Amino acid sequence: MNASDRQALYLIADEMRGMATIGRHFANNPYEVERAHRMNELAAQVAAMAEQERSLDDVKVLFNEEPWHRISPAIGADAAVFDEKGRILLIKRAQDQTWAMPGGLSEIGHTPAQTALKELWEEAGLKGCVKRLLGVFDGPKWGSLSKVHHINMIFYVQCDDLTPQLGIEATDWAYYGADELPSPMHPSHRLRVPKSFELMQSNETYYDPVCSDDLSLSTVQRQGD
């Protein structure tokens, strides 16, 4: 097995492990929990096929103990779709009946831009092309109430067909102007939707500005300084 084949197996195993973790988190009964655990075991077996220095038992330990989903913030992506009048598409989420742009968390194996298109299709039944990145937003700084640290990316998506066909994750849709946004807005979208209008007009890409002096920098790696 060459290096390319091993890398392919690692990526498959990582995606399976991500599916298992999500499955355990959202499991509604013992059978779903059991299937998620089994998926994790199969992922470990796939990774072990690519390993040359670790046994299957060692890989299983790493898969069960490595806090991969806590090392980095979760990455989310939203699709900003505008109609011919410059109004933005919002959907009413079935989960909590709040309004938001189509979007969701990136899954392993998908880029953020692909995630935006995937969520747009699943939630609104629209297909389109990502034209540009509007901004990268730190969730806690932009109204998110999630218990998990999120980084959210908003992509401008151009669609030929602008008439949504809702899926099971949304109960309503409409296009809104910047001065007529509906209520209640989803907490993490309440500030980012108005900002999306600004970014579309300015052609700028937003990021949360920061300087080194604003940070509490570690000195562990700089012991000689």
> Which tens digits make up the pLDDT trace of 102-114?
999 998 889 999 9
Mean pLDDT of the region 7-21: 82
What pLDDT is attached to residue 68? 47
Mean pLDDT of the region 33-48: 89
Q: Where are the domains of the chain?
A: 3-70, 73-202
Beta-strand runs (E) in 55-181? 74-80, 88-93, 99-100, 103-105, 129-138, 150-158, 170-176
> Which tens digits make up the pLDDT trace of 112-153?
999 999 999 999 999 999 999 999 999 888 888 776 678 999
Q: Is the pLDDT of residue 180 over 90?
A: yes
What pLDDT is attached to residue 192? 96
CATH of 73-202, one of 3.40.50.300, 3.90.180.10, 3.90.79.10, 3.30.930.10: 3.90.79.10
Across the chain, what does the average pLDDT equal? 88
Which residue type does 159 have?
C
**3 state SS of 49:** helix
Mean pLDDT of the region 208-213: 90
> Which tens digits make up the pLDDT trace of 44-97?
888 888 877 778 788 777 776 654 444 478 899 999 999 999 999 999 999 999
What pLDDT is attached to residue 64? 67
Please give the Cα distance from 213 to 211 (Å, whole number).
Answer: 5
What pLDDT is attached to residue 67? 47
